[in-house]
């Protein structure tokens, strides 16, 4: 079957070189039983590639099932995939077959494989190596003949380095990797896809297909498309339904396009998917570092202003020595006294190092701050992440949903982190 026939059969639109290469790889590997790892951003159509591989394989007349590993709770994913025996856990009122048992002879597509728990990864590795599995709550080894196609929008190799994904499973899954290009990497296909979508929606909603002027076309091509084909389809549907003018210009198109992400976090150069959203842990750390930098900058500015304008210190000399030291340690602010109050300062036993007689910068000697002790701050990334999570939970009185929103991570990721760091709510 030629490439164009496959595109027509599965509704794939585009002629980009990277897209054609991915399709050719899928066609070549379909006739084998090799495990395939499909890599690509969210919304590029990874599941379509799994359907192509299954439909062109010798298993095409046997079952095909798609499983989203990120949508199944960690406590039940083993039961879903491998089945369970009656009484294996609370609520297991009967025995149940898992997907690997019911789809034997066919193909199973494991989407978002990077979200699979480590324990389940070990079970999956055994299936891939020997074709054997054990139901939850059973000791009987069973055999299955299932072809596994996995997909991810994450860089699994990075996950293996962080201990979040088994390295042996990664290399077992990526026997044949297929990288589906993002929409930004196939800009020549954007207008073709948009045209196809608006024609389909005009037929569905009985409207006139919208047309784009030259400005609108360039705006569409140069948009970021973080959601890729899925996002483009949504925009086409909105325009088809809400646009009052069949001829859409750039000004009107901007009303439908989401604002560009104002995220000012640094982007790692020369990395695949560098323009994609950072993973949640990295976002937390960057937020922490920027907050620390902001605090230090404000502290330096405040200190410089006090040195340059002694009058800002007001009646600092009227404080006792203990008050000055307490303020210094508590607020990291250095009170400065004028020369007119020198006698008052001496009478109050305030070290003269604190007094700015000639409005010159004040230098504190080590002997003047006897109680000052430097404490080396931990720079461990996991400690900082745990500290932020604990602070967020305290701030929101243990409400996970509010805490996860404040941290910029999903509630499911927060739940996983609570278990990982053994945080007691």
What pLDDT digit, counting tens, does each position of 59-117 carry?
999 999 999 999 999 889 999 999 999 988 888 889 999 999 999 999 999 999 999 99
Tell me what pLDDT residue 89 has: 86
Segment 359-383 shows an average pLDDT of 52
Q: Report the distance separating Cα 107 and Cα 145, nearest Å.
A: 9
Burial environment of residue 44 by CB neighbours within 10 A (0 to 12, 13 to 18, 19 or more): buried
- Separation of alpha carbons 121 and 126, rounded Å: 9
Which is nearest to 34 in space by CA: 192, 178, 184?
178
pLDDT band (50, 70, 90) for residue 181: very high
Contacting residues for 417 by C-beta, under 8 A, at least 6 apart: 385, 386, 389, 409, 423
361 pLDDT higher than 80? no
Cα 218 to Cα 212: distance, rounded to the nearest angstrom: 10
- The residues of the chain that CATH labels 1.10.10 are 381-420
pLDDT at residue 398, rounded to an integer: 84
> Which of 118, 99, 131 lies closest to 168, judged by CA?
118
The CATH 3.40.50.300 domain(s) of the chain lie at 3-181
CA distances from 320 to 8, 316, 405 (A): 85, 9, 45
pLDDT tens-digit readout, 282-331: 666 666 776 777 777 777 777 777 766 666 555 444 444 454 445 545 55
E runs forming strands in 268-375: none
- What is the model's pLDDT at position 339? 45
Which burial class, exposed, middle or buried, applies to 376 when counting CB atoms under 10 A from its CB (0-12, 13-18, 19+)?
Answer: exposed
CATH class of 3-181: alpha beta
What would the two tokens of residue 274 be?
């560098």
Q: Which residues contact 385 (CB under 8 A, 6 or more apart)?
A: 281, 284, 285, 417, 421
The pLDDT confidence band at residue 377, using thresholds 50, 70 and 90, is low
How are beta strands 132-134 and 141-143 bridged, if at all? antiparallel
Phi and psi at residue 129, to the nearest 5°: -80, -45
Element (H, E) at 133: strand 132-134
Nearest 5°: phi and psi at 398? Answer: 80, 0
Query: Of residues 289 and 372, which shows the higher confidence score?
Result: 289
Q: What is the pLDDT of residue 97?
A: 94
For residue 368, pLDDT over 70 is answered with no
How large is the average pLDDT for residues 202-218?
A: 93
Contact at 8 Å (CB) between 324 and 349?
no
From the candidate CATH numbers 3.40.630.30, 3.60.15.10, 1.10.8.60, 1.10.760.10, the one assigned to the domain spanning 192-254:
1.10.8.60
Contacts of 167 (CB under 8 A, 6+ apart): 160
Count Cα neighbours of 69 within 13 Å in the Cβ-side half-sphere.
Answer: 21
- Mean of all residue pLDDT scores within the chain: 81
CATH of 381-420, one of 1.10.3470, 1.10.3710, 1.10.10, 1.10.1060: 1.10.10
**Boundaries of CATH 1.10.8.60 in the chain?**
192-254
Return the DSSP state at 104.
Answer: T
pLDDT in the model for residue 378: 59
**Over residues 380-409, mean pLDDT:** 83
- Cβ atoms of residues 286 and 266 within 8 Å: yes
* C-alpha pair distances (Å), 96 with each of 78, 101, 120, 147, 423: 12, 10, 17, 21, 34
CA dist list (Å): 32 to 22, 65, 301, 335, 374? 16, 18, 66, 77, 64
Element (H, E) at 37: strand 36-39
Q: In what order do the strands lie in the sheet with 107-111?
A: 64-68, 107-111, 147-152, 36-39, 176-179
The yes-or-no verdict on residue 363 having pLDDT over 50 is no
Q: What percent of the chain has pLDDT over 70?
A: 75
What pLDDT sits at residue 383? 77
């Amino acid at each position: 079957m030629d490439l164009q026939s496959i595109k027509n059969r599965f509704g794939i639109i585009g002629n980009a070189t990277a897209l054609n290469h991915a399709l050719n790889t899928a066609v070549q590997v379909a006739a084998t039983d090799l495990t395939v790892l499909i890599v690509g951003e969210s919304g590029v159509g990874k599941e379509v590639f799994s359907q192509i591989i299954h439909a062109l394989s010798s298993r095409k007349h046997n079952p095909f099932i798609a499983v989203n590993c990120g949508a199944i709770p960690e406590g039940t994913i083993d039961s879903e995939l491998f089945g369970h025996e009656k009484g294996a856990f609370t609520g297991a009122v009967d025995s149940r077959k898992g997907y690997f048992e019911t789809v034997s002879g066919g193909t199973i597509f494991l989407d978002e494989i990077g979200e699979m728990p480590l324990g389940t990864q070990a079970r999956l590795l055994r299936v891939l190596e020997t074709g054997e599995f054990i139901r939850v709550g059973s000791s009987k080894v069973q055999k299955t003949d299932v072809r596994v196609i996995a997909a991810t929008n994450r860089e699994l190799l990075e996950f293996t380095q962080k201990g979040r994904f088994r390295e042996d499973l990664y290399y077992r899954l990526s026997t044949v990797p297929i990288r589906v290009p993002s929409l930004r990497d196939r800009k020549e296909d954007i207008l073709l896809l948009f045209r196809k979508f608006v024609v389909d929606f005009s037929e569905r909603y009985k409207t006139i297909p919208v047309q784009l002027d030259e400005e609108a076309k360039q705006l569409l091509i140069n948009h970021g498309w973080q959601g890729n084909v899925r996002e483009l389809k949504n925009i086409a549907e909105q325009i088809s339904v809400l646009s009052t003018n069949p001829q859409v210009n750039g000004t009107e198109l901007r009303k439908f396009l989401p604002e560009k992400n104002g995220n000012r976090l640094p982007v790692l150069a020369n990395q695949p998917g560098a323009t994609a959203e950072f993973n949640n842990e990295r976002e937390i750390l960057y937020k922490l570092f920027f907050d620390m930098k902001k605090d230090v900058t404000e502290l330096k500015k405040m200190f410089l202003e006090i040195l340059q304008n002694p009058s800002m210190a007001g009646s600092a000399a009227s404080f006792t020595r203990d008050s000055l030291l307490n303020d210094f340690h508590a607020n990291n602010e250095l009170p400065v006294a004028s020369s007119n109050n020198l006698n008052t300062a001496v009478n109050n036993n305030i070290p003269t190092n604190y007094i700015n007689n000639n409005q010159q910068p004040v230098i504190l000697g080590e002997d003047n701050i006897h109680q000052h002790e430097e404490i080396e701050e931990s720079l461990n990334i996991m400690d900082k992440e745990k500290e932020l999570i604990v602070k967020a939970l305290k701030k929101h009185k243990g409400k996970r949903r509010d805490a996860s929103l404040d941290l910029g991570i999903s509630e499911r990721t927060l739940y996983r982190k609570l278990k990982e760091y053994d945080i007691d709510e």
